């Protein structure tokens, strides 16, 4: 039996790996924002919120790269199409919009807006 990279078994394996990498990568990418926010004395809840939105686009980029390396640039759309068939199970967290550069840049802009507003709340009272 020939192995196919476009099998459901392989898609499930990629999805499980992506889910298992989500939390460690969020922590890895969130700490610089959080430390900078703490250094500028921004409130802790604002720092956590901004760190989440700051880490999200970097995590999405790495996971998108993992899918690309596993399936190839020509076949990754099959994986994302498979995820849309299971929006409440396998594809719960991953939507096709998330992998667009415009969306990821918007998240970075939103994180910097959170940092600025947190700084303004702290210092301009």
Q: What digits encode the pLDDT tens for the residues 46-55?
A: 999 999 999 9
Number of domains in the chain: 1
Rounded to 10 deg, the angle between the 44-71 and 76-85 helix axes is: 120
Between the CA atoms of 47, 52, 53 and 57, what dihedral angle is there, to the nearest 10 degrees?
Answer: 140
Query: How many other C-beta atoms lie within 10 A of the C-beta of residue 113?
Result: 12
Do the domain assignments include residue 2?
A: no
Do the domain assignments include residue 1?
A: no
Look over the chain and give the mean of its residue pLDDT values, rounded to a whole number: 88
Please check whether residue 90 is in contact with residue 15, taking contact to mean a CB–CB distance below 8 angstroms. yes
For 51, the domain range is 8-123
What pLDDT does residue 3 have?
61
Q: What digits encode the pLDDT tens for the residues 63-98?
A: 999 999 999 888 888 988 888 888 878 877 777 778
Average pLDDT over residues 116-124: 87
Please check whether residue 107 is in contact with residue 97, taking contact to mean a CB–CB distance below 8 angstroms. no
Compute the distance between CA of residue 96 and CA of residue 81 in angstroms, rounded to an integer.
8
Please tell me the total number of residues recorded for the chain in this structure: 125
């Amino acid at each position: 039996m020939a192995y196919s990279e476009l099998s459901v078994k392989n898609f499930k394996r990629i999805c499980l790996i992506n889910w298992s990498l989500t939390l460690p990568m969020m922590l890895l990418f969130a700490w610089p924002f959080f430390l900078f926010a703490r250094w500028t004395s921004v409130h802790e809840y604002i720092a956590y919120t901004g760190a989440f939105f700051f880490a999200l686009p970097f995590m999405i980029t790495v996971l998108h790269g993992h899918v690309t390396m596993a399936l190839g640039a020509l076949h990754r759309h099959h994986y994302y199409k498979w995820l849309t068939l299971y929006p409440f199970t396998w594809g719960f967290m991953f939507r096709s919009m998330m992998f667009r550069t415009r969306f990821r840049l918007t998240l970075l802009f939103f994180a910097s807006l959170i940092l600025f507003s947190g700084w303004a709340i702290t210092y301009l009272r």
